[in-house]
Chain A
Amino acid sequence: MSEKQDTDIKEKETVKAPALQAAVSPHLSNTSFTTRRMMIDVLIALVPVVGMAVYIFQWYAVKQLLICLVSCLAAEAIFIKMRGKAFTLTDCSAAITGIILGLSLPGPAPWYIGFIASFVAIGIGKVIYGGLGMNIFNPAMVGRAFVMIAFAGSMAASGYLDAQSTVDAITQATPLDLFKQAGTTTPLMALFVGTTNGSLGEISAIACLVGGLFLCLRRTASWEIPAGVLVAVAVLGGISDLVTPDSKWTVIHHIFGGALLFGAFYIATDPVTSPLAPIGKFIFGLGTGAIIMLLRIFSGYPEGVMFAVLFMNALTPLINHWTIPKPFGAVKEEAEA
């Protein structure tokens, strides 16, 4: 029998029979949505934010973004090679980390800030855990947290300022700092359009909204996360408005000002470091929003997005554990389709 089969196979090969494959089901896949496509979506969504940063900060933004982008790609290449793994630059994830990191830095920060932050982000933030998909903390925020503590001067409120600069935005304090130090409120329109000082990517609310909504519509970012952040900020900001009715910094300022929208749409939505199930994603968003408000209102820092995201990253495994969905038909079902 087997002999006959062998000859059969040989015969078939000579008449150029199709090469048949054995594989596990399913035999179809949705090829329109791949990991690479997700990464490209993020890069597309970053276009308005990067555009606004370059428009307002000009050379400062170009320099900072290039430093971070090139350093992150270099760091990825070096560290991956050190670990003896396959080349991974084509998955675009290091590029995204670089751009988001660059966008989260102040324009005037010296070159070594972005350089060091990039190597920390990729090395300690990602590759050390095993590369893409394995890291616990958002790599860009790990890099930023490192330089924020190591180079407190360049990253604090004064680091955003350069009185001699020819770029207007750089000569003023950031809106959150202005309010924290002097009680001066920046006009909403300036926050919305983004004609203020701040980290490169955070200034324009409208640019973050446009790119962020694109990400949510593509389902590349889960809408549950920014929704959770916004709900928490709206509720806590609303309470704060009620408690201190004469404060000029209203809940709307909280939403449009600082890195809130940038963080909610681009940083907190990193799928690797956020929960899996929809309900968990929403809880993650709520927690992030709540911590941002606590830090903004009660801490010495004017802004809290970075620490809020890092803290919630640490809670993600726990949130996943709490929000294991009940299987179809299981008793005591809570979530109903």
Chain B
Amino acid sequence: MGLKLDGFEGQGTFGKGVHPSDQKGFSSDVPIEVIPSPAKVVLPLSQHIGAPCESIVKAKQEVILGEVVGKNTAFVSAPIHAPINGKVLKPVKVTLPSGRHVSAIPIKAEGDQADGKALLDDILGGDWPKDCAENYEPKAISEAINNAGIVGLGGAAFPTHVKIMPNEERPIDALLINGCECEPYLTPDDRLMIEFPGSIISGALLAGCAVGAKEIVIGIEANKPKAVEIMKKAADGTKIKIAVLKTKYPQGSEKHLIKAVMNRKVPPGGLPIDVAAAVSNVGTAAAIAGAVLRGKPLTHRIVCVTGSGINTPKNLFVPMGISYQELIDFCGGLKEDAARIISGGPMMGFAFTDLNAPVTKGTSGVTVLTRDDVKKADETACVRCGRCVDVCPLYLVPSKLAIGSRYKNPSVLERYHITTCLECGCCAYTCPASLPIVQLVRAGKALIMAQSKK
């Protein structure tokens, strides 16, 4: 195949990986819809990787849309803003789908709310300039990102200003905007590219300016031809290039995107900056544009509610802190044979059962799978077939990690580089013996952590 992108050595793909059926059809053609403003939101103070926020509001205090309610306390952190107008209630503890218990600020809606198409247009719609970058200082862009509380919207929720900031000692060759969306089922990035390409282009240019990137590339998997066409048109006249990448999981992993576009390999434990690259999601780029050009903090995001277990799959524009139950109800509820509700996609998302949990900045979608979807063969003994080795995109030996973890042998885990594992799930997806390899790897990592603390 080959990417043949001017000035880049990437082949448009990476070694190994798997090809699960992409299942995007449930929601890929459904336009983004704004969910009616909820009666209440619950804002966890830790919606990102890094230090949790500190609440700066008191119970009964009135807040308006966009007002800061949680202040960032460290460099790697991001402030949290009220997504509705209303009154703050007493702080509570919530359990996120990932299983983390965090404190949260509930806000009860009061008064008029921005709603419907007007809200969507205000944040993402309208015209976006293509010549915006020259008018801003790199530092000002980074500051605006920080103040707007933007984190990586692809799912990892890493505070964006930490990545998108000027760094004279370590120049960036290329800023890669990640529109791969390699998780099966998920469609919010695809819809964003189709409906609001201008915001992504402006955001990419601003982010590129902030990091001083020589080149900007938007990477999109080949299974989204419509998004590719629209993004190409939108990027016309700018320095942004569109890279069409092979549809393969996990193409949207930061390391594999860099490999596919630039043919560079981020070392284990390293960051994209180690190979002079920066990576940001398309949704994050759009949020950057909103923050810098329109002064909009990150209060809403696009999520898809999809899968064969939901009655009417949709792409929704929702405020942070709305409950998963409300999303599901708005999409016609669960089908009778729904078996698993997943925050995120089916390969790396978290299955959870408490639907009162709030949507956070890192929620990219809700995938509802049926009993048939999640059916798998009974676990058998590992026959050392090596299929997991054949698919591991990080070139590890997953079966050894599983065995090392099962028998609590840290020296095996270290010898086989357990900390390099990104838990993408290719091995467990492929394993003919249906071993819970990812679960074992997580247990193994915990074992290593516990040992290093001793």
Contact = CB atoms under 8 A, between A and B. Distances in A.
Interface of A: 1, 5, 16-31, 33-38, 91, 131-134, 219-220, 222, 271-278, 281, 320, 324-331, 333, 335, 337
Contacts of A281: 386
Contacts of A327: 268, 394-396, 417, 420
B389 A276 contact: yes
A330 B417 CA distance: 10
Given A22-B353, A277-B386, A325-B396, 17 more contacts: A18-B309, A20-B353, A25-B425, A26-B425, A35-B433, A38-B383, A91-B380, A132-B381, A133-B384, A276-B384, A281-B386, A324-B397, A325-B395, A327-B268, A328-B393, A329-B268, A337-B395
Contacts of A16: 336
Nearest to B373: A28
Contacts of A326: 395
**Residues of A contacting B: mostly:** loop
Interface in B327-349: 334-342, 346-349
Interface residues of B, number: 75
A332 B266 CA distance: 13
Interface string B350-373: 111110100000000001010001
A303 to B, nearest CB: 27
Given A34-B377, A328-B420, A329-B267, A24 B438 contact: yes
Interface stretch (B12-20, B53-61, B166-174, B192-200): B12-20
B12 to A, nearest CB: 13
A18 B346 contact: no
Contacts of B425: 25-26
Contacts of B212: none
Interface in B243-294: 255, 259, 265-268, 270
Contacts of B351: 21-25, 27
B454 interface: no
Given A28-B429, A324-B397, A331-B267, A272 B384 contact: yes
Interface in B426-448: 428-434, 436, 438-439, 442
In the A-B complex, the 5 residue pairs with the smallest Cβ-Cβ separation, listed nearest first, are A337-B15, A26-B425, A133-B381, A329-B265, A29-B376
Interface of B: 14-16, 18, 20, 92, 184, 255, 259, 265-268, 270, 309, 334-342, 346-354, 356, 367, 369, 373-377, 380-387, 389-390, 393-397, 399-400, 415-417, 420, 423, 425, 428-434, 436, 438-439, 442
Contact of B399 (A34, A36, A276): A276
Nearest to B259: A328
A272 B399 CA distance: 12
Contacts of A21: 339-340, 351, 353, 374
A335 B390 CA distance: 13
- For B347, B377, B439, which residue has the most chain A Cβ atoms within 10 angstroms? B377
B336 A329 contact: no
A133 B383 contact: yes
Contacts of B376: 29, 31
Contacts of B347: 25-28
A41 to B, nearest CB: 10
A150 B334 CA distance: 66
Contact of B377 (A22, A36, A275, A335): A36
A23 to B, nearest CB: 5
Contact of B386 (A5, A222, A324): A222
B348 A26 contact: yes
Contacts of B338: 18, 20
Given A20-B338, A20-B339, A26 B432 contact: no
Contacts of A30: 18, 20, 429-430
A222 B384 CA distance: 11
B93 to A, nearest CB: 9
Contact of A272 (B267, B348, B383): B383
Contacts of B428: 25-26, 29
B383 A328 contact: no
Contacts of B431: 29
Nearest to B440: A24
A328 B268 contact: yes
Contacts of A278: 386, 389-390
A26 B342 CA distance: 10
A25 B386 contact: no
Contacts of B92: 1
B389 A325 contact: yes
A213 B231 CA distance: 46
